[in-house]
């Protein structure tokens, strides 16, 4: 049985039904009521009740813009709800998609960790509340070397999984038996994390400019808006930056080199990885903007998985702890020397790895030097193909 009641659940997970009413109990229901006066009273109550509220809000934006994955302690009371909706309100007002992306990533990752700490019974209740009905069974389903405690109906799984860019969650790459998709608890938490991230992103139908004008007139919010504006100016976050984002910011499966795809396939099927394969994955993920959690998740299906040890090695590869050294991706020469190159593999091989690429001014293909080069040139290839398809359709 779950140990949750309606209130404790909403306080921990404020996007659930009833959360907004806790944040804004009455709202501006009377058209004649002055919204500035109303929200001045509302936020005065919050800022006076929680003296460190300004600092905590500013910390959220500061950590997010620094691309941190932790640093905020989530609570399970009223302030947790107020913080969530105040952040969302501020994001709507700024209408800056770069900031939205960073903030939603930080907050969703914080909740991902909270979801991982839930019991299976509590997680099942939460899934139901979030319209993602999953079923944890006492008798786990063994598929290959992996025991799966949870299943989700295919029709329920697909809409949520489609929110993720990670092709590992595409139906074709999951274990499906008799219309049921079998998942680990960590898979469920990752799927819910993406739902949470979408909850934080503002509604585009609302006018950010009008809301910003209103917030600047709210006594306690105006100084906060100024402080966040300074952070944005310091980081030089602009819409243009978002639209021309670095290719390594969002590296998904389509851009993975053959050697990485091969290792991921082994891991997915519960086959133990060699020490070199584990390091290769850890270094590649660390240098292509994947999180610690995403990297640890790769190893969860291995027969010898030890979370504490895996997390230590993943963090060590990123310079977290130890000597603080962040390790580079293996070079292609190194990958070949330890027999991990799959450039000519029938299933995973790719001409970019096998023959190289045409660089500007060159008349022959030039070999790539690292798997990260593959990511860049594969991205170029995909974009060129999309442009060509677009021209053909015209």
Whether pTM > 0.95 for this model: the answer is: no
Question: In whole angstroms, what is the distance from residue 279 CA to residue 100 CA?
Answer: 32
Q: 104 CB contacts (<8 Å, ≥6 apart)?
A: 91, 197, 198, 200, 201
- Reported as a single tens digit per residue, the pLDDT across 168-184 is 788 888 999 999 999 99
Question: In whole angstroms, what is the distance from residue 39 CA to residue 47 CA?
Answer: 12
- Reported as a single tens digit per residue, the pLDDT across 234-249 is 876 554 443 434 555 5
Tell how strand 146-153 and strand 180-183 pair up.
antiparallel
* Domain 253-393, CATH: 1.10.579
- Reported as a single tens digit per residue, the pLDDT across 216-237 is 999 999 999 999 999 988 876 5
- Reported as a single tens digit per residue, the pLDDT across 86-133 is 999 999 999 887 788 889 989 999 999 999 999 999 999 999 999 999
- Reported as a single tens digit per residue, the pLDDT across 133-163 is 999 999 999 998 889 999 999 999 999 998 8
Where do the CATH 1.10.579 domains begin and end in the chain? 253-393
Ordered alpha helix ranges (H), the chain? 6-12, 19-23, 35-49, 53-65, 78-94, 97-117, 120-129, 154-161, 185-200, 208-215, 221-235, 239-243, 258-268, 275-286, 292-299, 307-317, 332-337, 351-355, 371-393
């Amino acid at each position: 049985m779950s140990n949750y009641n309606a209130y404790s659940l909403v306080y921990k997970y404020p996007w659930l039904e009833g959360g907004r009413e806790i944040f804004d109990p009455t709202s501006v229901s009377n058209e004649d009521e002055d919204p500035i006066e109303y929200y001045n009273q509302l936020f005065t109550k919050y800022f006076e009740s929680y003296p460190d509220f300004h600092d905590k809000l500013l910390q959220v934006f500061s950590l997010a813009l620094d691309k941190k994955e932790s640093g905020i302690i989530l609570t399970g009371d009223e302030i947790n709800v107020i913080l969530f909706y105040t952040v969302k309100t501020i994001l709507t007002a700024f209408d800056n998609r770069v900031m939205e992306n960073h903030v939603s990533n930080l907050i969703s990752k914080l909740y991902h960790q909270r979801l991982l700490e839930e019991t299976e019974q509590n997680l099942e209740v939460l899934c139901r509340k979030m319209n993602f009905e999953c079923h944890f069974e006492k008798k786990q389903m063994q598929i290959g070397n992996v025991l799966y405690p949870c299943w989700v109906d295919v029709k329920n799984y697909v809409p949520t999984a489609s929110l993720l860019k990670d092709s590992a969650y595409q139906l074709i790459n999951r274990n499906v038996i008799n219309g049921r998709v079998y998942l680990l608890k960590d898979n469920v938490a990752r799927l819910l994390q993406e739902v949470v991230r979408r909850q934080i992103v503002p509604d585009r139908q609302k006018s950010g400019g009008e809301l910003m004008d209103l917030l600047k007139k709210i006594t306690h919010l105006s100084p906060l808006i100024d402080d966040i504006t300074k952070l944005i100016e310091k980081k030089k976050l602009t819409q243009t930056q978002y639209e021309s984002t670095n290719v390594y910011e969002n590296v998904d499966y389509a851009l993975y080199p053959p050697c990485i795809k091969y290792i991921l396939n082994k891991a997915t099927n519960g086959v133990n990885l060699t020490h070199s394969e584990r390091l290769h994955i850890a270094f590649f993920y660390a240098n292509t903007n994947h999180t610690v959690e995403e990297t640890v998740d790769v190893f969860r299906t291995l027969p010898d998985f030890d979370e504490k040890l895996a997390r230590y090695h993943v963090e060590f590869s990123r310079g977290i702890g130890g000597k603080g050294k962040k390790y580079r991706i293996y070079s292609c020469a190194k990958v070949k020397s330890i027999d991990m190159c799959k450039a000519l593999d029938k299933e995973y091989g790719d001409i970019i790895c096998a023959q190289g690429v045409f660089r500007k001014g060159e008349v022959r293909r030039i070999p790539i030097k690292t798997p990260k080069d593959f990511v860049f040139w594969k991205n170029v290839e995909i974009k060129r193909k999309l442009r060509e398809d677009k021209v053909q359709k015209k």
